[in-house]
Amino acid sequence: MKKQQRADYVLQKLNELYPTTPIPLDHKDPYTLLVSVLLSAQCTDVRVNKTTPQLWKLADNPQDMARQDAKTVEAIVRPCGLGPQKSKAIVGLSRILVEDYKGVVPQTFAELESLPGVGHKTASVVMAQAFGYPAFPVDTHIHRLAKRWKLSSGRSVVQTERDLKKLFPDNTWNKLHLQIIFYGREYCTARGCQGKSCMICAKLNG
């Protein structure tokens, strides 16, 4: 099976399994999504969703967050891991949003990635899910499955993202990255499948 045929099968199967793709992180606007995605680094979405309600009580907009002390924020976000770095980033980016962007989350990759604690993956999620811009955020699930399904041999998420963008139409990216994540969690876990037993691996690697 050629690589494009593999990709076409994956897209067809994932559309059957996940016709709708609710965003796993609870949020109400681009700012709360940005902060939630930042908190999700090396942390589960479930844990983030348990943590953010308390954080939003403290501050759920850039103006209020910019006035907070990083130590106060750290006490709340500590369960998400990397508390000192994440709390400084959240307060820092909030101050930049207020000072440079009138409290509005910018809508370009360059501006988002210039904010403290915001890397390419975080920016991609915000661009895709908050603003509808075609983006393909690659996390560990997607990187692992793309290799398992022989859609990419990329050693880095950057290369995997590049490979996947060539195989799938850009109007599928925003939904597809979530579909792959859902599938990786439900059927093709790191230890549970090993590239052989789940329905997609069995078809592609059988």
> Which tokens in the block code for residue 117?
């604690």
Q: Angle at which helices 30-39 and 83-101 pack, to 10 degrees?
A: 160
Q: Given this model, what pLDDT does residue 194 score? A: 86
Closest CA to 94 of 173, 31, 13: 31
Output the pLDDT for position 43. Answer: 96
Domains of the chain, first to last:
3-21+135-205 (1.10.1670.10), 30-129 (1.10.340.30)
Q: Are 40 and 118 in contact (CB under 8 A)?
A: no
Q: What is the distance between the alpha carbons of residues 53 and 200, in angstroms, rounded to a whole number?
A: 37
Predicted pLDDT at 173 = 98
Q: Which of these is catalytic: 139, 147, 175, 203? A: 139
Report residues of the chain scoring pLDDT below 70: none
Which residue in the block uniquely carries the two structure tokens 């988002």? 112
Query: Would you call 139 a catalytic residue per the annotation?
Result: yes
Q: How far apart are CA 127 and CA 1, in angstroms?
A: 33
Residue 198 to residue 138: CA distance in whole angstroms: 21
| pTM of the model as a whole | 0.95
Q: What is the DSSP letter of 127?
A: H
Predicted local distance difference test score (pLDDT) of residue 154: 85
163 part of the active site: no
Do 33 and 125 meet the contact criterion of CB atoms below 8 Å apart? Answer: yes
pLDDT tens-digit readout, 54-102: 999 999 999 999 999 999 999 999 999 999 999 999 999 999 999 999 9
